[in-house]
Amino acid sequence: MSSQPRQAGALFPPIEVGSFVSRRPDKSEFIGSASGVFFINTVFRAFAASSSSPAAAAAAAAARDDPGSLPATHEQQPGDGDDLLLGLISDDASTGAATPSGPHYGIGVPGLGAPPTPAAAKELLMIYFRKWHPVFPFLHGPTFFEEVHRFYSATIPGGGGGGGGETLRDKLCRALRFQCVFNIAATDADDQLSEPRCRITSPALLTGLLGLVVAGDQDVRALQTLLAMELYLVTRMSSRAASTVHGALTRLMYQAGLHRCPFRYRQLPRGDDALGVRQRVWWCAYVLDRHLGLALGHPVAVSDDEVDVCVPGGPELHGPVEAGDEARAHLPATRESFLRNNGLAPAGGSDGRDHDTRRPEEAPGLVLGCMVTYSQLLGDALRLFHTSIHKRSIALDKVLDLTARIHSWWNSLPSSLQDDEDATGAKSPHAAFFAVLYHHLVLCVSRPFLSLPTDREDFGSCLQSALSASRAIIRQLRASAKGSLVLAWPGALSAVWMAGLVVAYASLLKLYPLEKGILDMNHSISLLEGMGRTWTSASHCRDTLKLMLDQLASQTRVPNSPSQAGQIPSEEALGSEGLGSEGSPDAAGESRSKRRRHDQAATPSPHPGTDPVLASGMASSQIWQPVLEYTGPDFGFDANQFCRQDAWQEFLVQGLNPGLSGLLFDDAGWDSYVKTFGDRLS
């Protein structure tokens, strides 16, 4: 270990970078470091016997039009969306997936699916509002139930497809809201509730309809439609499609002023919980924004500096501001004193905000409020560790402050959201969900340091923190019942995938007992096996962990060889190698031989007294080669490339090597990027 202690203000290098991909000159893709792509490469490289040195690449952010500009005269005006719809959807209820004798939406959109039977619809609604609505309450329950009731009452007896006077766009938005809610609820439902005729066939269908949804008036109902579409895509691990919908949603919310607290404006109606719905729509989109930022590693679309909406479940800090009031009356911290000093304070209290004095356990929106504060911490972690390397400043005191706030958030959660059982002995439906969120966030904060040299104190400390979080994730998911929220949330797949990799890495480095590591990895593989029935990419993660498990298990059966694959290579070892070098095979072999001799002679073991980490024969194995791409959940690659049953196995047999397989990305940036660290890593 290094003997120099780290000062509180010490800066760490920008450890992790993203992955930029260009399969052809006019098409590129980017997945940021927050997704875990860099750490995946670290673990894969630790299991590899050789290395390569591609050049690093960078991604430029796309420019956005001014969201506040007025539409030009040639642009589509609100209310004209039906002209666009006529060319794409039909008003004939007998087309598409609708059934002549059953309920139908009054439009024919191939692939959108038909409404379920009334009995199935009732059951699916109960599942959705019991499981998903507490976390994402963007719908107003009574209004939505009444809308569903009117729809089924109108369509079944007379087959009219809904009330009169509806436009095609109204029917489309209603069909999208209903179908997304029904399909989200049917994720873990039995076949009787998720008939094939009622399923949405492709995520591409929703992104194709996006322009039609935004073509008319952008009221709260249209925003709820977009949120339903985005949540459905998120639950299906279609993160890029969800990000596309989210981009349109955030711009429309800004245009509608949802990023400002609605309680400030007297123009908004006070009845039917209209203000609360606006708050909930905003914060649900905010939570999904942070989730997509972590899943894709992309910059967040919502800046905390632009938001003054009060968090649900907490005190409402705003109230209506009169036209003659000063601008500072809008500020939550000064409004009460401003009114009091000017003799304007209401005699009866605080503008009817009766939830100010309630206990946290009784406050409405409690679950969403805790999700919001968690997402704020997640956003802070994304900014600290994964902003552009030109602006990134990772100071030790910032890391400690963020870590303390994460632990404080967890320790401050109400007992109803943290304990496995409530006061009556009933199982809490959200305890495992919030526990996995917490441990996954701890893992994400520790993960950037796991790509540092293994002889640093910060590496050892963060590895043990990540290992504890990983074991807790595996334990919580194993104890969760089938059909629970935590197993239906796609973040659980990323969490158990990362947890399995951390366990594999620690076991490889002899920093975790091999027997326990093998047991934990078997549990991870079993969890991924079950998730594979919902998400195809879980099977890919499972196959990768199986290969790592086989390699670890082989260490108990074959002699070990003196290898240091767990270390980051020195500059001398990297200097003469490159992915695109034209050296002869003999020269390449000689270079590898020199590097091995140099490592064995000059590089001390980072963990004296322990056995080497790789089994003999790894240098000649074609299984573990350097991997420069993320091979994890759906947000890391296009799963359609492995649609054949044997395609994924072919890729693994070819050595997880993009230069051989050609299935993944021609990507940039591990060894050559690490080479630039220089003395900053010592």
Which residue in this structure is represented by tokens 């194709």?
Answer: 208
Is 383 in the same domain as 432? Answer: no
Domain boundary among 555, 575, 598: 555
Q: How far apart are CA 123 and CA 56, in angstroms?
A: 52
Residues 6+ apart with CB under 8 A from 50: 592, 619, 625, 626
Within a domain: 468: yes
Res. 147: pLDDT tops 90: yes
* Window from 68-72, 95-99, 234-238, 495-499 with minimum mean pLDDT: 68-72
Write the burial class of residue 428 (CB in 10 Å: 0-12 exposed, 13-18 middle, 19+ buried): middle
CA distances from 573 to 143, 378, 423, 564, 599 (A): 66, 37, 60, 12, 9
Mean pLDDT score, 249-268:
86
- The answer as to whether 681 is a domain residue is no
Please give the Cα distance from 427 to 418 (Å, whole number): 11
Confidence at 516, pLDDT banded by 50, 70, 90: very high
> Is 181 a member of any domain?
yes
pLDDT top residue among 21 and 234: 234
Q: Which residue has the tokens 């009452």?
A: 153
Q: Can you give the pLDDT at residue 126? A: 94
298 inside domain: yes
Total domain count, the chain: 2
570 in a structural domain: no
- Tell me the DSSP string of 489-528: STHHHHHHHHHHHHHHHHHHTTSS-HHHHHHHHHHHHHHH
Whether residue 416 is found in the same domain as residue 371: no
Residues 258 and 281 in one domain: yes
Question: Both 440 and 535 in a single domain?
Answer: yes
What DSSP letter does each residue of 14-57 carry, written as one string? Answer: -----EEEEEETTEEEEE-GGGTHHHHHHHHHHT-S----PPP-
SS3 394: strand
What is the full DSSP assignment across 545-557? HHHHHHHHHHTTT
- Cα–Cα distance measured from residue 368 to residue 276, given in angstroms and rounded to the nearest whole number: 12
CA distances for 520 relative to 508, 549, 556, 557, 610, angstroms: 13, 10, 17, 19, 21
pLDDT (0 to 100) of residue 82? 54
Q: Which of 33-37, 503-507, 649-653 has the lowest mean pLDDT?
A: 649-653
Task: Show the tokens assigned to 491.
Answer: 């973040």
Q: Are residues 224 and 307 in the same domain?
A: yes
On whether residue 562 sits in a domain, the answer given is: no
Segment 405-413 mean pLDDT: 96
- Calculate the average pLDDT of the chain: 72
Single residue among 523, 555, 587 that ends a domain in this structure: 555
pTM over 0.85? The answer is no
Which pLDDT score is estimated for 444? 95
Predicted local confidence at residue 42, as pLDDT: 81
Contacts of 272 (CB under 8 A, 6+ apart): 140, 143
* The pLDDT value given to residue 610: 37
User: Can you give the residue range of the structural domain that contains 460?
Assistant: 10-49+393-420+427-555
pLDDT of residue 379 exceeding 80, the answer is yes
Determine how many CB atoms are found less than 10 A away from the CB of residue 378.
24
Listed range (65-79, 86-100, 180-194, 259-273) with the worst mean pLDDT:
65-79
Cβ-based neighbours of 190, under 8 Å, separated by 6 or more: none
- Alpha-carbon distance of 369 to 280, in angstroms, equals 9
Give the separation between CA 366 and CA 314, rounded to whole angstroms: 8
Higher pLDDT, 446 or 193: 446
* Statement to judge: residues 314 and 406 lie in one domain: no
Residues 544 and 499 in one domain: yes
Q: Are residues 449 and 517 in the same domain?
A: yes
CA dist 494 and 366 (Å) reads 25
- As a whole number, mean pLDDT of residues 50-61 equals 34
Nearest Cα residue to 447 out of 397, 521, 394: 394
Is 11 in a helix, a strand, or coil? strand
From 503, 522, 555, give the residue that closes a domain: 555
Q: How far is CA 617 from CA 3, 48, 504, 562, 626, in A?
A: 35, 11, 19, 11, 16
Q: Clarify whether residues 202 and 186 are in a common domain.
A: yes
pLDDT over 70, % of the chain? 58
Which tokens hold the place of 90? 């039909």
Q: What angle do CA 539, 543, 545 make, to 5 degrees?
A: 115
Residue 448 CA to residue 551 CA, distance in Å, equals 25
512 pLDDT more than 50: yes
Of all helices (H) and strands (E), which one includes residue 395?
strand 394-395
Q: Is a pLDDT exceeding 80 seen at residue 496? A: yes
Predicted local confidence at residue 596, as pLDDT? 42
Show Cβ contacts of residue 614 under 8 Å, excluding neighbours closer than 6 positions.
47, 49, 508, 551, 560, 561, 563, 565, 566
Nearest CA to 596 out of 581, 610, 577, 579 is that of 577
291 and 404 part of one domain: no
Q: What is the per-residue pLDDT across 521-566, written as a single tens digit (0 to 9) for each?
A: 999 999 999 999 899 999 999 999 999 999 999 876 644 333 333 4
pLDDT average, residue stretch 216-224: 88
One domain for residues 488 and 414: yes
**Is residue 179 a part of any domain in this protein?**
yes
d(CA 149, CA 617): 67
d(CA 486, CA 189): 15
pLDDT of residue 11: 65
Q: Exposed/middle/buried for 42, CB within 10 Å: 0-12, 13-18, 19+?
A: buried
Task: Report DSSP state, residue 76.
Answer: P
Q: Is residue 254 part of a domain?
A: yes
**Nearest 5°: phi and psi at 676?**
-75, -10
Whether 269 and 191 share a structural domain: yes
Q: Write down how long the chain is.
A: 682
166-208 pLDDT per residue, tens: 888 899 999 999 999 999 999 876 666 778 889 998 888 999 9
